């Protein structure tokens, strides 16, 4: 991180917060796919509801 000038407490904290939020969002999206599949939704059902 030193070469990018991010080796200090302010930027390191922001980077850690952003990376935590981003990884949590990715995990929640994968979990949503599994939950929807268990509830009986298929990709064609989801496409139809999004497209109208």
- Its pTM stands at 0.63
Asked if residue 46 has pLDDT above 90, the reply is no
Return d(Cα 6, Cα 21) in angstroms, integer: 19
What residue numbers bound the domain in which 27 lies? 2-51
Return d(Cα 28, Cα 21) in angstroms, integer: 11
Q: Answer whether 23's CB lies under 8 Å from 17's CB.
A: no
Q: What is the pLDDT of residue 11?
A: 79
User: What's phi and psi for 24, nearest 5 deg?
Assistant: -65, -40
Asked if residue 26 has pLDDT above 80, the reply is yes
Mean pLDDT of 17-40: 93
Number of structural domains in the chain: 1
Asked if residue 43 has pLDDT above 60, the reply is yes
Q: What is the pLDDT of residue 3?
A: 63
What mean pLDDT value characterizes the chain? 81
């Amino acid at each position: 991180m030193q070469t990018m000038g991010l080796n200090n407490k302010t930027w390191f904290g922001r980077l850690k917060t952003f990376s935590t939020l981003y990884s949590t969002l990715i995990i929640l999206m994968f979990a949503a796919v599994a939950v929807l599949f268990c509830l009986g939704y298929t990709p064609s059902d989801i496409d139809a509801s999004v497209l109208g």
